[in-house]
Structures are given as structure tokens and as C-alpha cells.
């Protein structure tokens, strides 16, 4: 697949066909994505692949936590967005809820939507990206994690697969650890749901917006 087509066509997929993704394909995607550059070639990433019963149980555990109103405790430091960033977050939610036919007042449907996210949007597989805690405080290593995250998503397109990067999937790290061997010495950073897109699923029709080049790029020199 052409690189420009890949970058332009990648989008978050929030509805999947139940078809499993062959292990060889998942392995090939990761093998390719491991070409990602990292600061001083430190390669901080650890990748855990979860499918089948294990994935199902993590999703179930996440939903149970949410239903019990347990406060999320994701391990990637994060603070509430403000100003234009908050506005973009709200705009996205409005777009998704419109497509899914979820009104502001419909608390039950809203909860169901969040549960779907906690279940990795019922994708047949997910990657969990973690990083040794000895790298805590190294923002450079986080850049590396972001780079491999995007490389995985782009590479997946070559195999007809869709992805959704999700902090929601790892909001309850205790649940993830309960069902995987990810040790306490590793910081769980992010998850990526992966599978064959269900193009009839309303939220997959979402075309998320972007600021134009003029708004975010500053030029100096003669270019
Ligand atoms: C770090 C990160 C965390 C994200 N977490 C979630 C999530 O928990 N749930 C979700 O539905 N989408 C999540 N997304 C997807 C973003 O909402 C999405 O990338 C953004 O709205 C742009 O849309 P696009 O991916 O379709 O281009 C996340 C994306 C990133 C990069």
C-alpha cells in the first residue's frame, strides 16, 4: 500500500467483524513495525498480544470495574484537556454520538458505548504497549512509544485491517495484569484494538476533522 494512501486513509475503527486475524499476520505487522526509530535506538517498547478468551476476559473485567464505579487508574500520566483541546474532545464525542444515534439524555446507551470501548470495540485482537518503569520520566521514550503505535496502525492497513488506539482499554491496569504476564515493573502505556473493519458500523463512517496547515505550521526562510 502506498504510504500516502495509508496515512490519509487510516482512521479509528470502532466496529469490527468477528473474523479472527491470523497469528502470522499479527506477527508480520509487528515485525515490520519494529523498524520504528527510537531515541539512540533504545527500543523502549514491549508489546503484548491478546486475543480470544484472554481479550474477552480483559474486556469483561474492564466493564465490571466501570460498573462498580472504580476510578480509572491508567498508568500514562494524563490531565483533563482545557480550552481548544477540550473543545475538540467535545466535538469528537458529539460526532460519534450523532452517528451512533445516542442522545445526551440517554444514559443507558452512553454507558453501553463506553463499555464497547472497554471491550476493545469487540475486536478479535489487541496489542498492549508497555515500557519498563526504569524509563519513567523519559519523554523521549514516550515519543518512541507513540511512533511505534502509529507505525503499527499504518502497517495494519496493508493487510486490510483497521485499528483503534485506545487508552480506554488499559484504564484498569490491574485487570490487564490479572490476565497477562505484564509485570509491575512495566508501565502500561496504551492499547490498540485490531481487526477487520465492519464498514456498516455507524461510528466507522466518522471523518474526524483536522486543523488546516495554515493554522498549525509556521514558516521561516525562503521555502
Ligand atoms: C493516545 C490516544 C488515545 C486514544 N484513546 C481512545 C479511546 O480510549 N477510545 C477511542 O474511541 N478512541 C481513542 N483514540 C482515538 C482518537 O479519538 C482518534 O485518533 C482521533 O479522534 C482522530 O480520529 P482518527 O483516528 O479517526 O483519525 C485515541 C487516540 C490516541 C492517539
40-50 per-position pLDDT tens digit = 999 999 999 99
Neighbour count for residue 121 (Cβ, 10 Å): 25
| Cα-to-chain-centroid distance, residue 143 | 15
pLDDT exceeds 90 at position 77: no
- To test the ligand 1 pocket, which listed residue (6, 88, 95, 164) has its Cβ within 8 A of the most ligand atoms? 164
Compute φ and ψ for 123, nearest 5 degrees.
Answer: -70, 155
Kindly give the distance from the C-alpha atom of residue 166 to the centroid of ligand 1, in angstroms, as a whole number.
6
Which residues have C-beta atoms less than 6 Å from ligand 1?
Answer: 11-12, 14, 92, 117, 164-168, 190, 208
What would the mean pLDDT of 48-60 be, rounded to a whole number?
A: 98
pLDDT tens digit string along 81-106? 999 999 999 999 999 999 999 998 99
| Cβ-count burial 167-188 (b if 16+ within 10 Å, e if not) | bbbbbbbebbbebbebeeebbb
Distance 92 CA to ligand 1 centre (A): 10
The ligand 1 atom at the shortest distance from the C-alpha of residue 92 is 21
- Evaluate if pTM is beyond 0.95: yes
The mean pLDDT of 29-43, rounded to a whole number, is 98
What local confidence, expressed as pLDDT, does residue 131 receive?
98
Residue 24 and residue 186: Cα distance in Å, rounded?
A: 26
Query: Is residue 162 exposed (0-12), middle (13-18) or buried (19+ Cβ within 10 Å)?
Result: buried
Residues 101-123: tens digit of each pLDDT: 999 899 999 999 999 999 999 99
Q: Which three cell numbers stand for residue 38?
A: 527510537
Q: What band does 223 get if pLDDT is binned at 50, 70 and 90?
A: confident
Q: Scan for cell 487508574, then name that residue.
A: 73
- Looking at residue 113, what is its pLDDT? 97
pLDDT of residue 104: 87
Residue 197 pLDDT: 98
Amino acid at each position: 500500500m502506498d504510504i500516502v494512501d495509508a496515512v490519509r486513509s487510516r482512521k479509528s475503527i470502532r466496529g469490527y467483524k468477528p473474523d479472527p486475524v491470523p497469528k502470522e499476520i499479527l506477527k508480520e505487522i509487528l515485525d515490520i513495525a519494529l523498524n520504528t526509530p527510537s531515541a539512540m535506538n533504545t527500543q523502549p517498547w514491549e508489546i503484548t498480544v491478546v486475543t480470544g478468551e484472554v481479550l474477552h476476559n480483559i474486556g469483561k473485567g474492564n466493564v465490571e470495574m466501570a460498573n462498580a464505579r472504580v476510578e480509572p487508574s491508567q498508568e500514562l500520566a494524563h490531565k483533563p484537556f482545557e480550552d481548544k483541546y477540550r473543545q475538540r474532545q467535545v466535538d469528537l464525542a458529539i460526532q460519534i454520538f450523532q452517528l451512533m444515534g445516542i442522545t445526551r439524555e440517554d444514559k443507558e446507551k452512553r454507558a453501553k458505548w463506553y463499555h464497547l470501548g472497554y471491550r476493545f470495540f469487540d475486536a478479535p485482537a489487541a496489542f498492549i504497549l508497555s515500557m519498563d518503569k526504569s524509563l519513567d520520566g523519559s519523554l523521549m521514550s514516550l515519543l518512541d512509544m507513540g511512533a511505534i503505535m502509529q507505525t503499527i496502525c499504518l502497517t495494519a492497513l496493508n493487510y486490510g485491517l483497521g485499528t483503534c488506539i485506545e487508552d480506554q482499554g488499559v484504564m484498569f491496569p490491574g485487570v490487564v495484569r490479572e490476565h497477562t504476564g505484564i509485570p509491575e515493573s512495566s508501565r502500561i502505556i496504551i492499547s490498540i484494538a485490531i481487526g477487520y473493519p465492519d464498514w456498516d458500523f455507524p461510528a466507522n463512517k466518522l471523518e474526524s476533522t483536522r486543523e488546516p496547515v495554515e493554522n498549525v505550521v509556521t514558516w521561516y526562510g525562503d521555502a
